[in-house]
Amino acid sequence: MYKHPFQRHKTREVGVGNLVIGGDNPIIVQSMTTPDTYNIDATVAEIHRLEEAGCELVRVTVPKAEDAAVLSEIKRRIKLPLIVDIHFDHKMALAAMDHPIDKLRINPGNLGGMDRFRLVLRKAKDKGIPMRIGVNAGSLEREFAMKYGYPCPPAMVDSAIRYIEIAEEEGYHDIIVSLKSSDVLTAVEAYRMYAKLANYPTHIGITEAGKAPYAVTKSACGLAPLLLEGIGDTIRISLLGDPVPEIAAAFDILQATQRRVRRPEIIACPTCGRLEIDLEKIILQLEQRLAGRTTAIKISVLGCVVNGPGEAREADLGIAAGGGKGMIFKRGEKLYTMPESEMVDCLMKEIDIWEDEERAAGRLQAGAVTFKTDSREEDHDDANGRVGLPLLK
């Protein structure tokens, strides 16, 4: 199968709890809770549902003192790294850091001044807590909006770079950056501009995307160009309502862009008049029997003599079927034919063999997560003048 060339936006690594964001580590999927944070039981219950769905980082909002007060108890009852979302009141950020949290998310522009931002930076540095600096088109500072005329990508990037420089003045480098917008084109261009100027890892997403299914489509349209260009180290799909479906949507986008493949990919024909087998039944059976597998294998099942043979040759394993029988291909080579009733059994047998061969050759891939060690990175200057480029290991 053709291996696509890919170069990831090289960033420094930032530890968040037991995870590592950036560098060559897997792109991490996160979400945010919906209950009032001080409602401990409801918040923890939703976090557990998110974790069961595959969420790897979770964020809670802390607008009030009673929200900050329960952070230790929430952290005690969950396994996921805990991010605290702060807006407007820098005192909530300071209070939150008295608890065993794993990361802050702030928008420095709405904290009420750079002096307050510096207070948060200094305590975060002292506590060893990383921070996401979030710049949103919808809440861009007035000075940048006026300078550029409107919340355009250059204004957003200019804002982010200023905050990074202030953080670096304080000797603080545990930074993740987001440049979100509800407008796909604005978000994509902002992240592209940022990637040319800075090397801190990015959290990517289309904010306020709305209600599924359109919100998932909109998010995919915004994230796919970035992911295909190697930009993005952690992502969230922002959906109206229950956050649990965000997780499946995020992993589907990562799978489709081949940035993080966590399960077999099944390629199947659309339903049309050329089908000569019960393809829906075969695919359903195959999905059921592959449930839980994490192998990065492409399986093509085509019930059409027009495209079937070519597509089957391009997959790791494939069947070109018609007239009640199918021809199985492996790594582009024809193996044998079988009746329709035996297709699923034959494919499962060949998948097992394929996995054994890939494992023996050291090529078996799955969507693993990298965990943080105690190793430290050193900063050095980049010849291209980019901000915050570390010495990557």
How would DSSP label each residue in 125-185?
HHHT--EEEEEEGGG--HHHHHHHSSS-HHHHHHHHHHHHHHHHHTT---EEEEEE-SSHH
Superfamily of domain 13-256: Dihydropteroate synthase-like (3.20.20.20)
Determine the longest span between alpha carbons in the chain, in angstroms: 74
Tens digit of each residue's pLDDT (9 = 90 or more) over 255-299: 999 898 888 888 876 766 566 677 888 889 989 998 888 888 888
State the pLDDT confidence band at 109, using cuts at 50, 70 and 90: confident
Task: Please tell me the predicted confidence (pLDDT) of residue 311.
Answer: 63
State the pLDDT confidence band at 197, using cuts at 50, 70 and 90: very high
137 or 249, higher pLDDT: 249
Q: Could you tell me where the beta strands, DSSP code E, fall in the chain?
A: 13-16, 19-22, 28-32, 57-61, 82-86, 103-106, 131-136, 175-180, 203-204, 234-235, 265-268, 298-302, 317-322, 325-330, 333-339
363 or 97, higher pLDDT: 97
CB 319 within 8 A of CB 351: no
Report the chain's C-alpha Rg in angstroms. 24
What DSSP string runs through 228-244? HTT--SEE----SS-SH
State the pLDDT confidence band at 207, using cuts at 50, 70 and 90: confident
Please choose, from the candidates 225, 227, 251, the residue with its C-alpha nearest in 3D space to the C-alpha of residue 237: 251
- Tell me what the mean pLDDT of segment 308-323 comes to: 74
In angstroms, the CA 199 to CA 190 distance is 14
CB 111 within 8 A of CB 88: yes
Min mean pLDDT across 105-114, 243-252, 302-311 is at 302-311
Whether residue 195 has pLDDT greater than 90: yes
Fold that domain 265-360 belongs to in CATH: Sulfite Reductase Hemoprotein; domain 1 (3.30.413)
In angstroms, the CA 113 to CA 162 distance is 13
The alpha helices in 22-77, defined as continuous H runs, are 40-53, 65-69, 71-76
- Tell me what the mean pLDDT of segment 244-260 comes to: 93
In angstroms, the CA 172 to CA 165 distance is 10
Handedness of CA 387, 161, 102, 184 (dihedral sign): negative
Tens digit of each residue's pLDDT (9 = 90 or more) over 121-169: 999 999 999 999 988 877 777 777 778 887 789 999 999 999 999 999 9
What are the extents of the domains in the chain?
13-256, 265-360
